[in-house]
Amino acid sequence: MKAVLWNKYGPPEVLKMGEVVKPIPKEDEVLIKIHAASVTLGDCEIRSLSLGFFISFMMRLMFGILRPKNRILGQEFSGEIVEVGNKVSNLSVGDLVFGTPGLKFACYAEYITIKADRKEGVLVKKPEQLSFEEAVVLPVGGLEALNFISSSNLSKGESILINGAGGSIGTMAVQLAKYYGAEVTAVDRTDKLDFLKQVGADRVIDYQTHDFTRLGETYDVILDVVGKAHFDRTMKCFNKGGRFMIANPNFALMIKSRLSQITTDVKIFMDMTVQNNNDMYKFIKLVNEGYIKVYVDKVYPLEEIVDAHRYVEQGNKKGNLVIRI
């Protein structure tokens, strides 16, 4: 089968089209013919290991010290079940599904095998009203946004600033915050501001011309999706009882966050999202009821994966980018 091979860490050009053996499902697995995958900023960071020395070192221990052990990248898939193991009872051939295999990756390919019963990761049936291209981007962006917005205990009438609001997590977070009745300020670059107003932001800030930490304004919640806001100045941007949600912390930020809890009443949250079917069903319900809309910026064929990664890595993506297989 066709697949995008990831044989070394580096720029988008390390991804090469190739042929691998089509996987065979085990007795507790299903074989899925993939129709769509996605490219997130996280995929780009993992591909290049551009995450700072400490985080990159830990990632090498996990994924391979000199080169990746998992030869195929991709965190999200949508497609059709074409074969089931003999111990699978909850899914059938022909079911249209979407999900994420977790750190197994392997979604940049024509087929993938995945366990039918997931303790971690996601495998659920696709809502009829969503296309494969829309459903595929829900697990990562949707569940990350759900994790941080839910954990912030955001309530009606409160204010939230979302830094890096124009991507897959940010656009979902803006809509979730509006669902909870909050006043939303979205921060991103100039060419994404009109788009963010369309998504639902009450106010937008262009980080290319204004540093939100220097504007003298305060918020009940700040969600830093990209983990790049100046920590000390951000800590001065909270109302009493503020909550600081950090989605992409580096090692220095982790240390500063722990130390700051001694001297401030701002609660800091940076726990990793545990992807699971139950939370995915909660998010699907919001999509079905019309509270969450999926925004797909571009759709690339699998053969143009290098261009797709380059587009995302350069910060061009508005919402989500999809790979059609």
Ordered domains of the chain (ranges, CATH): 2-137+294-324 (3.90.180.10), 141-269 (3.40.50.720)
97 near 78, Cβ under 8 Å?
A: yes
Q: What is the C-alpha to C-alpha distance for residues 138 and 168, in angstroms, rounded to an integer?
A: 9
Q: What is the mean pLDDT of the chain?
A: 93
Distance CA 165, CA 167 (A): 6
Predicted local confidence at residue 252, as pLDDT: 66
Beta bridge partners of 161: 185, 222
Query: What is residue 119's predicted lDDT score, i.e. its pLDDT?
Result: 74
Give the residue-averaged pLDDT of 184-208. 98
In the three-class reduction of DSSP (H, G, I as helix; E, B as strand; rest coil), residue 83 is classed as: strand
Q: Is 4 exposed, middle or buried (0-12, 13-18, 19+ CB in 10 A)?
A: buried
pTM over 0.95: no
The number of residues making up the chain comes to: 325
Quote the CA–CA distance of 219 and 180 in Å, as a whole number. Answer: 15
What is the pLDDT, as a whole number, of residue 152?
97
Instruction: Tell me: pLDDT of 320 over 90.
Output: yes
251 pLDDT above the threshold of 70: no
Q: Which long-range contacts (CB under 8 A, 24 or more apart) does 278-283 make?
A: 279/143, 279/146, 279/147, 280/99, 280/122, 280/124, 280/138, 280/139, 280/142, 280/143, 281/124, 282/146, 283/138, 283/142, 283/143, 283/146
Residue with tokens 């499902």: 25
In the block, residue with structure tokens 């989500």: 320
| pLDDT score recorded for residue 171 | 98
CA 114 from centre of chain: 20
> What would the pLDDT profile of 257-267 be if each residue is shown by its tens digit?
776 776 788 99
pLDDT score of 303: 97
- Exposure of 246 in the CB half-sphere (CA atoms within 13 A): 24
**153 has a pLDDT exceeding 90:** yes
